[in-house]
Amino acid sequence: MSEYLHDANAVQGARPESLPAGTPPLLSLSGIAKYFPGVIANKDVSIDFYPGEIHALLGENGAGKSTLMNVVTGLYQADEGELILDGYGVTFDGPEAAIRAGIGMVHQHFKLVSRFTVAENLALGWSETRRWLSAAALAERAQAEAKRFGLDIRPDAPIDSLTSGEQQRVEILRVLSRGARLLILDEPTAVLSPLEVGELYAALRRFRDGGGAVILISHKLDEIMALADKVTVLRHGRVAGSHRVDKTDPATLVTEMIGRPVEQKTAYPRSAPRGRADVVLALEDVSFRDSAGRLRLHPLSLDVRAGEIFGIAGVTGNGQSELADILAGLSIPLSGKVHVAGTAMQGRGPGEFRKAGIGYVPEDRLHKALAPALGVTENAVMRVFRTHPVGGRMAYHAAAARDFTRSLLDQARVTVADPSTPMRGLSGGNQQRLVLARERMISHLALIASYPSRGLDIGAISLMREALAEIRDEGRAVVLVSEDLDELMALSDRIAVLCAGRLMTIVDRSGFDRATLGALMSGRDAGGGA
């Protein structure tokens, strides 16, 4: 247990230097524990949260961050320990009780009614909303609240017409307008463009400087180092360390988070000179309309060459997923042509793309890459079960399938006691690593990797990026879809930027500029214009 202690307790109890001596914490967690069948989600967690402070919770997926905040907001009840608010022990029977006490949470997946306006969403469930208020009155009150907290909104706009950043502002305003003094945000920048991230940072700093407290749940080190005043690291549900941000460094936090140091690379240079750069994937005036009839991709043309990593940047929901599905054969374009190594692929499905040497790591692995109810072996061989040695000539060779699975698990660095274990029994990170290893074996020409870092801890992300660089160095192509500009700029030879389904530009490595790319992701020019 000593590995979790360090000097953390001294730091956890330290008030911000900007507060007068004797200022008590707004909220204290004292010895909090939460158990589920066979799982210790949290154990002996003690943390103080002060007014006028942004306090980050850092940890891998499964480290207990969200569970701990669900205890704080009343979604779960602690099995051990106590919540102390303003010096008094409290128990919340649900989120409404927590918000009445001044604690509000903005979840990673927004909880807004998409067909309602901004003003209507702000009024929903608010005890101060009178029964017979006109739309104009709701809008007027929403605008007044927005002005009070310095958040720019459009009261009359339907939620489904807003960008992710605008929706997040509505969520934050909904919590603050109900009197929250402690604001909890779960992975708040996951679906924001760099410009929207900057706007969020400014709003959180204003709230902090006005005496509010912020708890920021994140696994992004750059985000924490830029925004937080204090950081507490959770590992295996326990406190591994707690620090003032200006007194620590990313290497220390990584070691506490995963138990070992990990090199944080900002570039992945080639191991050998690039060979022939033949075009392996080409799109010509390709567009796409979804099942609801909405045009998700406007006509675009691009080519991807052997031995390169071709990055696709964009805020989530701007056509990247549709483009990746088209490149892998899962979706048929509305118009235009798709070529693989010069061969027209119109009307061909994912099986034909696989045979042509295109591997695919999709954004939604559970629904597009895996069969969760089937065993690990079935999932490992599902893309090769008709080929030698696993299958062929109307036969399936179980022993060969098991050998193939063991080899794949070794490559993916995934440990499974029994390969017949249902796939849903593996962690999200292990599922992702297995899919990446499987699709890498298929990708003789190109690998389409859509948000491959999702669900991975820092150590696994490092291994994943090394694998993509190795595929590039072997002369194959990689299409990397990501909203993480640092990841794209570290790995890519070229980056295409999508916004609202339109191809904004394609930039060579020599022209990479974070501010310019971020502005284009938001549909603005480099000077901030629309």
pLDDT per residue as tens digits for the range 71-97:
999 999 999 999 999 999 999 999 889
CB-based contact 498:470 (threshold 8 Å): no
Residue 480, pLDDT above cutoff 60: yes
CB-based contact 322:333 (threshold 8 Å): no
Residues composing the chain: 530
| Structure confidence at residue 2 (pLDDT) | 35
| Structure confidence at residue 22 (pLDDT) | 64
Q: Is 229 helix (H, G, I), strand (E, B) or coil?
A: coil
The number of CA neighbours under 13 Å toward the Cβ of 125 is 13
| Structure confidence at residue 414 (pLDDT) | 85
| Structure confidence at residue 115 (pLDDT) | 83
DSSP at 260: S
**Chain-wide mean pLDDT for the chain?**
87
Q: Is the dihedral of CA 23, 24, 27, 31 positive or negative?
A: positive
Residue 117, pLDDT above cutoff 50: yes
| Structure confidence at residue 416 (pLDDT) | 83
CA distance linking residue 92 with residue 83, whole number of Å: 9
- For 122-131, what is the mean pLDDT? 68
What percent of the chain is modeled with pLDDT above 90? Answer: 47
Residue 10, pLDDT above cutoff 60: no
CB-based contact 414:458 (threshold 8 Å): no
CB-based contact 297:287 (threshold 8 Å): yes
More confident residue, 176 or 493: 493
- For 449-470, what is the mean pLDDT? 85
Structure tokens at 313: 């940047």
| Structure confidence at residue 21 (pLDDT) | 62
Residue 399, pLDDT above cutoff 80: yes
DSSP E strands, 341-493: 343-344, 358-361, 391-392, 395-396, 446-450, 477-482
Residue 496, pLDDT above cutoff 50: yes
Using DSSP bridges, classify how beta strands 53-58 and 213-218 pair: parallel, antiparallel or unpaired: parallel
Structure tokens at 32: 């909090």
Confidence of residue 293 (pLDDT cuts 50, 70, 90): confident
Residue 528, pLDDT above cutoff 50: no
DSSP at 472: H
What percent of the chain is modeled with pLDDT above 70? Answer: 92
More confident residue, 400 or 245: 245
CA distance linking residue 310 with residue 393, whole number of Å: 38
DSSP at 510: G
Confidence of residue 302 (pLDDT cuts 50, 70, 90): very high
375 forms bridges with which residues in the sheet?
A: 422
Residue 62, pLDDT above cutoff 80: no
- For 459-480, what is the mean pLDDT? 92
CA distance linking residue 368 with residue 325, whole number of Å: 10
Confidence of residue 20 (pLDDT cuts 50, 70, 90): low
| Structure confidence at residue 129 (pLDDT) | 58
Residue 341, pLDDT above cutoff 70: yes
Confidence of residue 195 (pLDDT cuts 50, 70, 90): confident
More confident residue, 334 or 416: 334
Q: Is the dihedral of CA 342, 343, 347, 348 positive or negative?
A: negative
CA distance linking residue 482 with residue 452, whole number of Å: 8
| Structure confidence at residue 19 (pLDDT) | 67
The helix or strand, by DSSP H or E, that contains position 307, with its residue range, turns out to be none
Using DSSP bridges, classify how beta strands 238-244 and 230-235 pair: parallel, antiparallel or unpaired: antiparallel
| Structure confidence at residue 226 (pLDDT) | 92
Residue 313, pLDDT above cutoff 60: yes
The number of CA neighbours under 13 Å toward the Cβ of 387 is 10
Least confident of 98-107, 153-162, 422-431, 479-488: 422-431
Q: Which domains does the chain have, with CATH numbers?
A: 2-102+181-258 (3.40.50.300), 115-174 (no CATH), 280-521 (3.40.50.300)
CA angle 153, 518, 367 (to 5 degrees): 85
| Structure confidence at residue 219 (pLDDT) | 76
CB-based contact 179:102 (threshold 8 Å): yes
Which tens digits make up the pLDDT trace of 269-288? 888 788 778 999 999 999 99
Residue 41, pLDDT above cutoff 50: yes
Q: What is the DSSP string of 72-138?
A: HTTSS--SEEEEEETTEEE--SSHHHHHHTTEEEE-SS----TTSBHHHHHHTT-TT--SS--HHHH
DSSP at 189: T
Which tens digits make up the pLDDT trace of 196-253? 788 889 889 999 999 999 999 987 888 899 999 999 999 999 999 999 999 999 999 9
Confidence of residue 334 (pLDDT cuts 50, 70, 90): very high
| Structure confidence at residue 112 (pLDDT) | 86
